[in-house]
Amino acid sequence: MQYRNAPDAIEWLCRVFGFEKRVVHAGPDNTIMHAELTLGGGMIMLGSVNDKAPDRHMKLPAELGGAQTRGVSLIVKDADEVYARAKAAGAKIVENIEDKPFGGRGFACLDLEGHIWHVGTYDPWAPR
């Protein structure tokens, strides 16, 4: 993932969704060359927007009128708690929290730079 202001995005993602910083490699001029954030057994990697291959082929949602070409799904223990933090942190809620017909409880929101996040308690790996 790429962010215009990756340092702020990292802090926001940790505070709102509960990610933990595993590795953060700072670059020049308040940029991030590479960061790894963990949540449970998962990880996302992100950095600052740049013009290096293959990153130059990526576009931010704001550059596409808010359109998305992918979404991120987070499995959390308490979706209501994360929902409250997201709202308090200024996330744009695009799907209110609800019990899902396929199981679990969740919501969808846009982060501070418009990336969509699906957050919920449904765990597709859980035993059925």
125 within a domain of the structure (yes/no): no
Predicted local distance difference test score (pLDDT) of residue 125: 87
What CATH number has the domain bearing residue 99?
A: 3.10.180.10
For 9-68, what is each residue's pLDDT tens digit? 999 999 999 999 999 999 999 999 999 999 999 999 999 997 776 766 677 777 778 877
Lowest mean pLDDT among 51-55, 70-74, 79-83: 51-55
Residue 30 contacts residue 9 (beta carbons within 8 Å) = no
- Is residue 54 assigned to a domain? yes
For residue 99, pLDDT beyond 80 = yes
Q: Is residue 128 part of a domain?
A: no
pTM: 0.90
Position 127 in a domain = no
Binning pLDDT at 50, 70 and 90, where does residue 113 land? very high
Residue 106: inside a domain, yes or no? yes
Which of 89, 93, 81, 87 shows the shortest CA–CA distance to 118? 93
The number of distinct structural domains making up the chain is 1
Q: Which residue segment(s) compose the domain that 49 sits in?
A: 2-120
Task: Please indicate, yes or no, if residue 126 is contained in any of the structural domains.
Answer: no
Q: What pairing do the DSSP bridges indicate for beta strands 72-75 and 2-3?
A: unpaired
